Amino acid sequence: AAGPADTGRRRRLGVMGGTFDPIHHGHLVAASEVAAAFGLDEVVFVPTGRPWQKSHRTVTPAEDRYLMTVIATAENPQFSVSRIDIDRGGPTYTTDTLRDLRELNPDTDLFFITGADALAQILTWRDADELFSLAHFIGVTRPGHILHDPGLPEGGVSLVEVPALAISSTDCRARVAKGAPVWYLVPDGVVRYIDKRQLYRGE
Ligand code: ATP
Ligand code: MG
């Protein structure tokens, strides 16, 4: 495929932020669909450091979530994983993520991909106004949530219908805890990693 250098157009980078505890096929399908629909050159998955919205529960160590994200995306040449939020330390704020990615990727337009549930919250995020100047936002459908423009500045958000996968990390964790299978909900390598590291057993 022609790269940005050949075409003279700016590089288009998708950003998929998440706790990925664990990463599942809902995340992967969303990224893949948006990449195709928006002609993205790459999608970078960015596992959170300590997610500020989830301080009420114990999140799996960042290294485990990072490795599962690498395992899940390794085969796709368009997908990559960034450690920026993990290595920054402290709670993760999406403005920091996008600012850092802008600095690391000059001449690049950023497209922040988010499910309907997270999009509905977005105006409550820190520095919400600045967010929309850093990236274009793409809200994707998610079973159990209504996808709507939460009132972002004109042209700041696009809404995209993706194949409905009623999968959540919460449900995957609960399944592992009760001995139910997560095969086909998460990539095979992630099933094996969860087993190898004995994640989610005592929840
Ligand atoms: P948890 O249940 O722990 O909150 P989750 O399944 O919601 O996990 P997150 O890591 O919180 O996964 O989500 C990262 C991003 O992926 C969010 O923008 C979320 O809306 C989106 N997302 C998660 N699951 C799906 C899905 N099945 N379909 C579409 N988008 C999804
Ligand atoms: Mg979530």
Best mutation site among 65, 97, 169 for ligand 1 pocket (most ligand atoms within 8 Å of CB)? 169
* Per-position DSSP letters for 11-31, written without gaps between them: EEEEEEEE--TT--HHHHHHH
Instruction: Please check whether residue 22 is in contact with residue 186, taking contact to mean a CB–CB distance below 8 angstroms.
Output: yes
Cα 12 to middle of ligand 2, angstroms: 25
Residue 33 is predicted with a pLDDT of 98
The H or E element that residue 62 is part of is: helix 62-73
Q: What percent of the chain has pLDDT over 70?
A: 94
* pTM above threshold 0.90: yes
97-110, pLDDT tens digit by residue?
A: 999 999 999 999 99
Cα 115 to middle of ligand 1, angstroms: 6
Cα 116 to middle of ligand 1, angstroms: 9
Nearest to 66, CA basis, from 87, 44, 83, 43: 83
Instruction: Please check whether residue 152 is in contact with residue 137, taking contact to mean a CB–CB distance below 8 angstroms.
Output: yes
9-166: what CATH class? alpha beta
Directed axis angle between helix 188-196 and helix 62-73, to 10°? 150
Residue 8 is predicted with a pLDDT of 77
Structure tokens at 48: 């959170």
122-159, pLDDT tens digit by residue?
A: 888 888 889 999 999 999 999 999 999 988 888 889 99
Residue 24 is predicted with a pLDDT of 98
What's the gap between Cα 61 and its chain centre? 17
Cα 133 to middle of ligand 2, angstroms: 24
Residue 164 is predicted with a pLDDT of 97
For the chain, the structural domain boundaries read 9-166
- CA-to-CA dists, residue 85 to 17, 23, 43, 172, 173, angstroms: 9, 16, 16, 23, 22
Does residue 171 line the site of ligand 1, with CB under 6 A? no
41-67, pLDDT tens digit by residue?
A: 999 999 999 777 766 788 999 999 999
